[in-house]
Structure 1
Amino acid sequence: MATTIDPTDFVEVENGTLTFPNEKQQAKFELGVCMAVYKWEELTTAVENSWGGPKSAEKRDWISGIVIDLFKESSAVDIQLIEETLLYAMVDEFDVQVDNDSALEIAALVMAFFKQVREEKYDQIDALYARWQEKRDTQVGSKHVHVEEDPNNPDDSESEDDGEDDGEDDGDNDDMEVDEDKVKQKNEPVIDDDGFQLVQKKGRRR
């Protein structure tokens, strides 16, 4: 970040909590928190690699929730508190210790969003949300392509000549090789002098 972050920067209210009385403002702030958390590359890497288990994506949303709760339950929040909350969540939920300042940057972004929403300025939050939607739609579209291709052509790269019977051909090929060997053995004369006895009626599977 170009600007220096002051970890002690804070917001507070005299009475009550930092929840916005205006529903639109509260909704925009919560969206801003989610967009800030989704912008955290270290967390994105942890989710994409399922370091938090099969529910890694849900854990990321939970982290957004606990950051939002800091403002809902407190009369004062500073950047350092947000940073520590993010770092503890990464350790608890993903077993990842973040040693750089990335959590501090995300915390500062959350604080900036709070101040923007307080002044009813939503441009940055809306821009981030539009970009996130576009990225998500692109990823979903590409996933659909893969989901449709994979089950229909499981071993397409390996067997190009198998045409229609993909799954059965693989199994039948093995049986055909065994049958061919046995057919060769059946066609050979049985030579007692060598001490080999061929059991001709064994393993006929079709």
Structure 2
Amino acid sequence: MSSSIAESPTPSAVAPKLVLFARGVIAILSVWPVLRLAVDQNWGGPESAAKRTYLASEIVDAFESASRQLNQDDVEDLVLQALAEEFEVVVEDGSSEKVARDVVRLWAEVSEGKTDMVISLEAIADKIRGKKVVAEVEEGNGDSDWEDDESGEEDGDDDAPQLIAPQTQSSRPEPVVDEDGFTLVQGKGKK
């Protein structure tokens, strides 16, 4: 019975590498502007921060349980799927490739016992913690499903239609100022 215990890896022997990897993955996800914005704006609902942590645990579990070395495409697919399902975000800026590349590189370094990348990533994450993410909003580019295919036939007026006639200034008389600079009080008058 004692021989079976000796043959199986003990949790404490595996844990330091996985804990270090998890810390690095959390740091990578914490500095990724797309995910920071999604969490800050609660795109995943009130539990957005927990969903970020869940994504980190999914990545760690995928590396821990993989029968082969995961590559950048595997990690990117996992990240993109999680963002689409949990935050309803479609990433088109190429940043998911960098995140996936960093995660794969982190796994390789942690597997070799190196801690420099984790320490560096955590320092960057600590530095930007609490800072707002500046988002660049791209107006519709014609690829949206909701846009009308006949948009080229419009008269070029992009303003919203007027539902209420604009109020004129005549409904409120201008104040009358006398020669000495005093404003005269005027009665409302009878209508």
What band does the TM-score fall into relative to the shorter chain? 0.5 to 0.7
Structure 2: 5+ residue stretches without partners: 1-10, 132-191
Fraction of identical pairs, as percent: 29
User: Distance between the aligned counterparts of 1:60 and 1:133, measured in 2?
Assistant: 16
The answer to whether the 8 Å contact 2:31/2:124 transfers is no
Match of 2:16 in 1: 24
Matched, 1:68 2:63: no
**Within 5 Å, which residues of 2 pair with 1:48-59?**
48-59=40-51
Greater Cα radius of gyration, structure 1 or 2: 1
User: Distance between the aligned counterparts of 1:89 and 1:20, measured in 2?
Assistant: 29
The answer to whether the 8 Å contact 1:83/1:106 transfers is yes
Structure 1: 5+ residue stretches without partners: 1-18, 141-206
Structure 1 stretch 48-57 or stretch 119-128: which is displaced more?
A: 119-128
Q: In structure 2, do the counterparts of structure 1 residues 74 and 99 end up closer, same or farther at CA, with 3 Å as the change threshold?
A: same
User: Distance between the aligned counterparts of 2:35 and 2:124, measured in 1?
Assistant: 18
Coordinate RMSD, CA, aligned: 2.3
Match of 1:88 in 2: 81
Q: TM-score, normalised by structure 1?
A: 0.54
User: Distance between the aligned counterparts of 1:71 and 1:107, measured in 2?
Assistant: 12
**Within 5 Å, which residues of 2 pair with 1:103-114?**
103-114=96-107
Matched, 1:125 2:118: yes
Q: TM-score, normalised by structure 2?
A: 0.58
Match of 2:187 in 1: none
> Which amino acid in the other structure matches residue 78 of structure 1?
N
1:125 positional shift: 0.9
The answer to whether the 8 Å contact 2:31/2:128 transfers is no
Matched, 1:98 2:100: no
> Which amino acid in the other structure matches residue 73 of structure 1?
S
Aligned residues: 121
User: Distance between the aligned counterparts of 1:111 and 1:54, measured in 2?
Assistant: 30
Match of 1:173 in 2: none
1:100 positional shift: 2.2
1:58 positional shift: 0.7
> Which amino acid in the other structure matches residue 123 of structure 1?
D
